[in-house]
Structure 1
Amino acid sequence: MYPLIAHTVGVEEHWESPMKINMEEATARQTYNLLIGLVAPRPIAWVTSMNEEGGLNAAPFSAYNYLCTDPPIIGIGVTDRPTGGFVPKDTARNIRRTGEFVVNVVTEDLIRQMNICATDFPAEFNELEMAGLSTAPSQVVKVPRIEQVHAALECREYTTMEIGRSRIILGRVVAIYVEDKFVDPAGPYVLAEELHAIGRMNGLGSYVKTRESFLTVPRISYEEWKQGKR
């Protein structure tokens, strides 16, 4: 294995090619930088949650995906606060205490507002107000969705696992909101090529659009493969 990159005062050693990294020797920051650049693009969970007093929090997380459909479970990775110790972020704490949250789908037209909600505001600030956003009641859970989003998943906590300095939150989807214009009722299918969701790429502020970028590659059956349709 090649040694991990070493940082001195303004000096950075160069990697030999190809790069091979022993992750057992990597720092937390190096691991983060590499994983988020390679596990990409990633969907973004723009999570609204509520504390016991009814105070709202909104924060985006790109360690996120759906994990199974029966039952419908999504997973979100939330790291602890970087201040030392094992102190959960507001989102993880709220979900653990109230058991509910909403995943708001991030689309191209809302990327600026989502980014504002990623700001580490002091506790007395409301991220939604800072981003000029409002809320709308959810169908099942007490936590509201962001009114301006075009789709949202209402969730109840299934379980939370603490692994190192992260909390992996599994949520059971109990209701879904999608604006009619983004749904083909025949499926129903989400018209993803019209919704224009965005994805996270790396830790350098890079995102990817889905507008005019869809590829259609139908799955090949075994019979088709035998016939040479590859």
Structure 2
Amino acid sequence: MFYKPEDGHELAHNPFNAIVTPRPIGWISTRDSEGRDNLAPYSFFNAVAYVPPQVMFASTGTKEDRDNTKDSVAVIRETGVFCVNVVSANLQDAMNASSATLAAGQDEFAHAGLTKAECESINAPRVAAAPAALECKLTQIITLEGQSNYLVLGEVTGVHLDDTCIIDGRFDVTTFQPLARLGYRDYSIVKDVFELSRPDD
């Protein structure tokens, strides 16, 4: 089939959500100027540069108690920092619980039963049990086409790694099995890993 998004797809569910998969999950933690912590998962997330290391996530949608956006973007606008927590397979239920729409200022860490740890280079919490966390300073918030669509870019200023995930000098994803977002309400756990050598290696 072929369809133009502006005309609709005539399917029961939007296929666009399932085309670009799997997608890593950016579990974004922030702290506002009043000291209130926030945590939310974003599946439009990725790393975008090596030097300096940079990441992005996109927020699509809004909450009634925020000005045309969601808690994460509102707090990052205010403070200029955020942390990206990596979601392992054993944290999937907590990640899902943190996606609940709570009132601004309510603590998703507590709602999901998660222990916090403090970041080192920024004033923000992180998920203590996450296999890795990236402390970031905001570089840009770009308004995208459409309603309440924002692209947040940040430079990584600190990296936390669980020592048990470092095998032979490499951060080994098989030790914690990352959770990835597929389409609709579908997820995947990364279990099968293989290596390919490039032609110019």
Please, what TM-score do these two structures have when normalized by structure 1?
0.79
> Larger relative CO (CA 8 A, sep 6+): 1 or 2?
2
Bigger radius of gyration, 1 or 2? 1
The number of residue pairs the alignment matches comes to 196
- Give the Å deviation of 1:25: 2.4
1:108 matched to 2:76? The reply is no
Matches within 5 A, 1:73-112: 73-81=54-62, 87-112=68-93
- Superposed CA offset, 1:98-152 (max 9, x none): 0011000000000000000001123353211111112111111110111121210
**Alignment check: 8 A CA contact 2:63 2:70 kept:** no
Looking at structure 2, the residues matched to 58 and 26 of structure 1 have their Cα atoms a distance apart, in angstroms, of 33
Gaps in structure 1 of 5+ consecutive residues: 1-18, 223-230
Looking at structure 2, the residues matched to 207 and 79 of structure 1 have their Cα atoms a distance apart, in angstroms, of 19
Higher helix share: 1
Looking at structure 1, the residues matched to 98 and 177 of structure 2 have their Cα atoms a distance apart, in angstroms, of 20
Q: Structure 1 vs Structure 2: percent identity of aligned residues?
A: 28
Looking at structure 2, the residues matched to 201 and 109 of structure 1 have their Cα atoms a distance apart, in angstroms, of 18
3-state SS of 1:25 partner: coil
Looking at structure 2, the residues matched to 57 and 82 of structure 1 have their Cα atoms a distance apart, in angstroms, of 14
- Give the Å deviation of 1:217: 2.3
1:176 matched to 2:159? The reply is yes
- Give the Å deviation of 1:194: 1.5
- Give the Å deviation of 1:96: 0.7
Q: Name the structure 2 match of 1:54.
A: 35
**Alignment check: 8 A CA contact 1:157 1:172 kept:** yes
Q: Name the structure 2 match of 1:64.
A: 45
Looking at structure 2, the residues matched to 100 and 160 of structure 1 have their Cα atoms a distance apart, in angstroms, of 12
Looking at structure 2, the residues matched to 35 and 210 of structure 1 have their Cα atoms a distance apart, in angstroms, of 22
Q: Name the structure 2 match of 1:129.
A: 110
User: What root-mean-square deviation, in Å, do the aligned CA atoms of Structure 1 and Structure 2 show?
Assistant: 2.1
Looking at structure 2, the residues matched to 132 and 152 of structure 1 have their Cα atoms a distance apart, in angstroms, of 18
**Alignment check: 8 A CA contact 1:116 1:131 kept:** yes
3-state SS of 1:215 partner: coil
Q: Name the structure 2 match of 1:167.
A: 150
- Give the Å deviation of 1:33: 2.8
- Superposed CA offset, 1:30-85 (max 9, x none): 8x9322200000000011011110101100000000111112110100013166x9
**Alignment check: 8 A CA contact 2:131 2:161 kept:** yes
Gaps in structure 2 of 5+ consecutive residues: none
Q: Name the structure 1 match of 2:195.
A: 216
The code of the aligned residue for 1:57 comes to N
Please, what TM-score do these two structures have when normalized by structure 2?
0.90
Looking at structure 2, the residues matched to 62 and 113 of structure 1 have their Cα atoms a distance apart, in angstroms, of 15
3-state SS of 2:6 partner: helix
